Structure 1
Amino acid sequence: MARLWVCAAAGAGFFLASLVLHSRFSGSPVLRNLALQISWKREKILYRLDLDWPKYSEYFTGATFCVAVDSPNGLVYIAQRGDNIPKVLVFSEDGYFLRAWNYTVDTPHGMFAASTLQQQSVWITDVGSGSFGHTVKKYNSFGDLVQVLGTPGKKGTGLNPLQFDNPAELYVEETGDIYIVDGDGGLNNRLIKLSQDFMILWLHGENGTGPAKFNIPHSVTLDSVGRVWVADRGNKRMQVFDKVTGEWLGAWSNCFTQEGPSAIRFTPDGKYLVVAQLNLGRLSVMAAPPVGNIGDCSVISTIQLPDQVQPHLLEIDSKTGAVYVAEIGAKQVQKYVPLNNHIHALGG
């Protein structure tokens, strides 16, 4: 069996991340059925699984929904769901557990670390139905609540005051401007841009299939040339907007005929997008489009995970290019490291 996996890893078009899952999968149908999931399609292999991250996986005690990377300070935040467990875990970038906290977090969905060398902060979208739910909240690295957007415990569609219903994810620019996708199957299907003092700059907020309309907007990110990308999961596409005006620039759908994207992030050099598809258990590396031309998506490389792993959201370290994937089915976060030629391309 070991020899089979060596041959598969060498000859397959993608690296099977599931070769060495954590011990909780040992002997399970997931592991036993891996041999059926080898693809021989030849593609570039850009990443390898970091088998030493984290150092101890027993800290994962719930369903891991999201991950955020504080690159300036070398920290990795993970949010998990479950009863009587710490909702947020903090690791070092080399995999050592540092601390945990469980304050004013009900049901985490998305995270983003908006840190500098002077200030460490992490934002969490909370989709819970309890007293902390339907909010977007900012914390320091020790779990102290700094800012709350939305009406805690009350879902809604209002803009003044601002209300959310199952806010899925956010992205915070260095300027402090905030992009929020709201919601994950709730009342709202909208993309909101807020200023650093939380004023609405522009929004697209209608359910539908046309341009600038959404069906479960699930992930949001920015590229290096001022475009906002949204994983429009229910519509099986990604939509692209101008970050200043909010103008709709185009959409990608040709890569998502089977399932829509659940997560999207750019590599530090801006050349690639890494995209997760939850139920397909797939990570795809796609070529970023040139300025002024969205065109169609082109898959450069894929990482196929086994059934039931369910990659939900992901984050990329802006310094090293490492990809961290929160897997709600496997109840773990895995780290993928760029191969040497790719690291060089990233400037590392």
Structure 2
Amino acid sequence: MNASESLSNDGAESPRGAVSRRRFLQGAAACGLLAPLASATGCEPAGPGFGRLDKVWGRHGVVGGRMHKARAMAIDADQRLYLVDFTARILVYDLDGNYLHGWSTPVCDNGRPTGLTYDPASNRLLVADTHYYRILEYELDGSLVSAATTGGTNGVAPGEFGFVTDAVRDSQGCLYVCEYGDNDRVQKFSPDGEFLAQWGSHGTGPDQFKRPQNLLVDSDDRLWVCDACNHRIKVFDPDGKLVAMWGEEGSAPGQMYYPYDIVMDPAGDLYIVEYGNHRVQKFTQGGESLGVWGGQGRDEGQLWDPWALALDSHNRLHVLDTHNNRVQRVVV
């Protein structure tokens, strides 16, 4: 994602777009996203590893089942894998990487989606249409459910959004949406789309975020947030009360550098992909590191700017190796 994606359709920047762009550039500079990441993180991560590389697949391209800088991933109940790439295409594969079908989001002149979530209750795919300030819902055949779209207006009022990055539903059907830009917050909506609550603002304090990038709802309806540019994980109860926070910037085991996605296995352990450290790290729920996998590079078993994770029913971790244009599967 780059700052130029905040431009309007005709190439001119609105006053709100200019503010958002300045906020992005300021945040990106503060987070180090405008500098080469390799020099900041080194190569192979130190410490104990976990898992075994099982399969690598994917080809670079913009047609058919090829991918171009895919940035989000999800798995449905039938174990189909969904990716969204930088051409704004939703690509659907089986778990071995065989391409099944795909479709494109309605428009992408302003920018591309950066979040995907499979919602088992509705059997639909939630797409964070980041630069159009909305969450789209699709049937799994690619049919857009227009009536289910959440948002679409750029702003800071309840129900308006900045750059949305992810959306998830809890066991009661409530929808949580995270966003960055002017807001850096989480908003909560009822199953009928009624605004219920919001929390967060831009900053480094316990009640603030700097680019909340991805969300996870656990079996207790706690909301886990990858607070990416603060290099930490935050956990909230359904009312938005902060119940846990851990993580610090760095490349040592237990530290993080731009945590971009998080999944939880059946045992309750967490896997976090670190965009800046080019690795995946396994944690207890209390933040204790249980091992790392990956490291910067182009070879199999190495990663380059990974964005996303998905865990299948066989307890295999699928890692979206974004700038290598591939998926790597790890038995954990």
Identity of aligned residues (%): 24
Pairing of 1:1-348 with structure 2 (within 5 A) = 37-38=43-44, 41=47, 43-45=48-50, 47-51=51-55, 53=57, 59-70=65-76, 72-82=77-87, 87-104=89-106, 106=108, 107-115=112-120, 120-128=123-131, 133-146=132-145, 147-151=148-152, 154-159=153-158, 162-183=159-180, 186-243=181-238, 245-254=239-248, 256=250, 259-270=257-268, 272-289=269-286, 297-307=287-297, 309-317=304-312, 319-338=313-332
Do 1:217 and 1:233's aligned partners in 2 also have CA atoms closer than 8 Å?
A: yes
Q: Deviations over 1:117-163 (max 9, x none)?
A: xx5310100123xxxx2211100112111121112xx422221xx22
Distance (whole Å) between structure 1 residues aligned to residue 211 and residue 272 of structure 2 = 16
SS in 2 for 1:329: helix
Which runs of structure 1 show a deviation greater than 6 angstroms over 4 or more consecutive aligned residues? none
Call closer, same or farther: CA 1:175–1:322 in 2, change over 3 Å. Answer: farther
User: RMSD of the TM alignment (CA)?
Assistant: 2.3
Q: Deviations over 1:298-321 (max 9, x none)?
A: 11010123247111122222x222
Distance (whole Å) between structure 2 residues aligned to residue 303 and residue 105 of structure 1 = 36
Do 1:103 and 1:144's aligned partners in 2 also have CA atoms closer than 8 Å?
A: no
Distance (whole Å) between structure 1 residues aligned to residue 271 and residue 321 of structure 2 = 15
Q: How far 1:246 moved relative to its partner?
A: 1.6
SS in 1 for 2:229: helix
Q: How far 1:191 moved relative to its partner?
A: 1.0
Structure 2, gaps ≥5 residues long: 1-41, 298-302
Q: How far 1:328 moved relative to its partner?
A: 2.4
Distance (whole Å) between structure 1 residues aligned to residue 73 and residue 157 of structure 2 = 28
TM-score, normalised by the number of residues in structure 1: 0.72
Q: How far 1:252 moved relative to its partner?
A: 0.2
Distance (whole Å) between structure 2 residues aligned to residue 233 and residue 40 of structure 1 = 21
Q: How far 1:331 moved relative to its partner?
A: 2.0
| Amino acid in structure 2 at the alignment position of 1:145 | L
SS in 2 for 1:50: strand
Q: How far 1:101 moved relative to its partner?
A: 0.6
| Amino acid in structure 2 at the alignment position of 1:181 | C
TM-score, normalised by the number of residues in structure 2: 0.75
Do 1:65 and 1:313's aligned partners in 2 also have CA atoms closer than 8 Å?
A: yes
Call closer, same or farther: CA 1:39–1:273 in 2, change over 3 Å. Answer: closer
Distance (whole Å) between structure 1 residues aligned to residue 72 and residue 318 of structure 2 = 9
Structure 1, gaps ≥5 residues long: 1-35, 290-296, 339-348
Do 1:157 and 1:163's aligned partners in 2 also have CA atoms closer than 8 Å?
A: yes
Do 1:91 and 1:99's aligned partners in 2 also have CA atoms closer than 8 Å?
A: yes
Call closer, same or farther: CA 1:212–1:331 in 2, change over 3 Å. Answer: same
